[in-house]
């Protein structure tokens, strides 16, 4: 049975936008027969890496810090698929997710260096060590899917830098707040959730996720001008409710050339 270890790095946990996509994705994997285990980083006792390096040399694979990292590293070593789910924070993952990544990398990765024919260095697998597929699930408030490019590059770098990780693709949900609102008003958007579920089934059944399925997960829900108009109206209300003086929105926002911006299309990320 395929073993899946998933982590949700959102501080909102089950109530966050990232969970809207992660939930059906994991359900799809369970439906296809996978054994799925999910953790929320906000509930973990997990300090940042101290760079002490004993886990690589003195006690290989075991950290001196008495927290959840050693237990989770054992689970990660046994997993066939590792899912990292996080909202986009400053073009990257949340702080708790980055702590998790730092700690698990130090505990799982062979510190020996190797050089590839392309002139790049990487950490080779230890003898008998299994290869893990890595999947990213991420959401953000902004309109375009290109906002995820920096975190996608980070996942690709993890693939390049260690022999035991294969980046299998990403489920990305831009303007995720609109998806939540449309679901609340029963507007046509449930195909996004069904595509996330189908991506989970495909990963278990076929070993990968199709372009078409991942594109539906990321598909545009509203035109750019409408996104800006509704988003700013919501922001103004939130500022007012917080008792703060309403701030002016730059006039340039209203002058966005939606025809030009709409040329970007959701795409599969791998």
All structural domains of the chain with their residue ranges:
3-222
Q: Are 128 and 74 in contact (CB under 8 A)?
A: no
Residue 41 DSSP one-character state = G
Statement: residue 264 has pLDDT above 50: no
CATH code of the region 3-222: 3.40.50.360
Query: For residue 227, what is the enclosing H or E element?
Result: helix 224-241
Q: Helix (H) and strand (E) counts for the chain?
A: 10, 7
Beta bridge partners of 89: 92
Distance CA 210, CA 21 (A): 16
pLDDT digits (tens, 9 = 90+) for 120-175: 999 999 888 999 999 999 999 999 999 999 999 999 999 999 999 999 999 999 99
From the list 174, 185, 169, the residue with the least C-alpha distance to 142 is: 174
The tens digit of pLDDT for each residue in 29-58 reads 999 999 999 999 999 999 999 999 999 899
- Structure token pair of residue 118: 């392309």
* pLDDT on residue 136: 98
Contact call for residues 145 and 227 (beta carbons, < 8 A)? no
Look at residues 7, 32, 18, 71 and name the one whose alpha carbon lies nearest to residue 205.
Answer: 32
Give the model confidence (pLDDT) of 211-246 as tens digits: 999 999 999 999 999 999 999 998 898 888 766 544
């Amino acid at each position: 049975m395929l073993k899946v270890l998933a982590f949700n790095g959102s501080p909102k946990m089950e109530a966050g936008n990232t969970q809207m996509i992660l939930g059906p994705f994991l359900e799809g994997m369970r439906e296809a027969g996978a054994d799925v285990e999910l953790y929320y980083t906000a509930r973990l006792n997990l300090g940042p890496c101290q760079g002490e390096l004993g886990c690589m040399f003195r006690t290989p694979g075991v950290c001196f810090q008495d927290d959840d990292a050693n237990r989770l590293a054992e689970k990660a070593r046994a997993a066939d698929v590792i899912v990292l789910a996080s909202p986009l924070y400053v073009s990257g993952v949340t702080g708790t997710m980055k702590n998790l990544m730092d700690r698990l990398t130090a505990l799982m990765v062979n510190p020996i260096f190797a050089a590839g024919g392309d002139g790049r260095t990487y950490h080779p697998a230890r003898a008998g060590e299994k290869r893990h597929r890595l999947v990213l699930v991420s959401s953000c408030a902004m309109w375009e899917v290109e906002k995820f490019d920096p975190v996608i590059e980070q996942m690709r770098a993890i693939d390049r830098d260690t022999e035991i990780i294969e980046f299998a693709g990403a489920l990305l949900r831009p303007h995720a707040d609109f998806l939540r609102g449309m679901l609340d008003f029963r507007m046509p958007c449930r195909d996004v959730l069904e595509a996330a579920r189908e991506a989970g089934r495909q990963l278990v059944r076929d070993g990968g996720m199709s372009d078409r399925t991942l594109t539906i997960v990321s598909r545009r829900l509203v035109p750019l001008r409408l996104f800006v108009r509704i988003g700013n109206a919501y922001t103004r209300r939130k500022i007012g409710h917080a008792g703060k003086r309403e701030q002016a929105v730059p006039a340039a926002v209203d002058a966005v050339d939606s025809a030009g911006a709409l040329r970007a299309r959701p795409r599969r990320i791998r």
